[in-house]
Amino acid sequence: MKEIHFTEIDSTNLYLKKHYSELDDLDIVDALHQNAGKGRMSRVWEDSSGENLLFSLLIKDKNLFPEFGSLSLLAASSIMSTLKGLGLSGVSVKWPNDVMVNGKKICGILLESVSLGSEMQALIIGIGLNVNQNEFEDLPNATSIYLEAKTGYEINALRELVYTNVRNDILMLKMGDKSYLDRIRQANFLISKQIDFTHNGDSVTGFVRGIDDDNRLIVEVKNELLHLSTGEVTFHKG
Ligand code: BT5
């Protein structure tokens, strides 16, 4: 398992999209700064150079391709456990891909797939974890380990811990262990909250009731339970 380090790059996810064929399962690329960091749906992932953990992990094991829907939550669970291990409290996961601390976003996850024709070649799990950044201009809902724990972390030491934890959790999933779902359910940021979202083109309001075994969000709408997968729901806010 290789790790490739950059001082600056456009986006670590983009790097793996371009270079996946030369790399192996569970290889990681990271950077101290991204000048074109990506969120979902063309959103931007911001970072202050050298202060955060920005990395992407490659999955080439075809047995894991059907687990596409599991991997965002699995990675979120892994980051959550790591943060708890560092002593942070108030850590939760906001379905489908955010790790929160005391209601603010500390980590975002971008899962992408690479296909040739109709055949999937690789999955890419991109993770941005705010570590030592102490100010987020124009991002009032962002936080970092430093802001929450009041202590800084050496990026190189932290990244080894994070990489070990994420890789171990992926290996557990390969063995069929789905216990990440229990951890997520116990720390479901959205539980019981009212959410407004778009579903099949309609604006809908509902209350979050849980997460099912297929990683879908269970939402109660007019006494009916909807099971929503990521692609089916666009949150209006939050
Ligand atoms: C995400 O998207 O949260 C996925 C972020 C994934 C970033 C990693 S970094 C390594 C790898 N390489 C990449 O290019 N990307 C991945 P989304 O759910 O769409 O959230 C994006 C929104 O989060 C933005 O529109 C901002 O509101 C907010 N945001 C941007 N930067 C942030 C930060 N550093 N901390 C907290 N929130 C941020």
For residue range 168-211, what is the model confidence (pLDDT) as tens digits? 999 999 999 999 999 999 999 999 999 999 888 888 999 999 99
Specify the pLDDT at position 234.
Answer: 73
CB-defined site of ligand 1, < 6 Å: 11-13, 34, 37-41, 43, 45-47, 54-56, 97-98, 105, 108-110, 126-128, 130, 139, 142
Centroid of ligand 1 to alpha carbon of 144 (angstroms): 13
- For helices 155-174 and 68-85, what crossing angle results, to 10°? 140
**Residue stretches of the chain with pLDDT short of 70:** 237-238
Specify the pLDDT at position 237.
Answer: 57
Specify the pLDDT at position 19.
Answer: 98
For ligand 1, atom 35, the nearest C-alpha belongs to 142
For ligand 1, atom 11, the nearest C-alpha belongs to 126
One-letter-per-residue 3-state SS of the chain = CCEEEEEEECCHHHHHHHHHHHCCCCCEEEEEEECCCECCCCCECCCCCCCCEEEEEEECCHHHHHHHHHHHHHHHHHHHHHHHHCCCCCEEEECCCEEEECCEEEEEEEEEEEEECCEEEEEEEEEEECCCCCCCCCCCCECCHHHHHCCCCCHHHHHHHHHHHHHHHHHHHHCCCCCHHHHHHHCECCCCCEEEEEECCEEEEEEEEEECCCCCEEEEECCEEEEECHHHCEECCC
Centroid of ligand 1 to alpha carbon of 178 (angstroms): 26
Specify the pLDDT at position 230.
Answer: 83
Specify the pLDDT at position 199.
Answer: 85
For ligand 1, atom 34, the nearest C-alpha belongs to 46
Specify the pLDDT at position 136.
Answer: 96
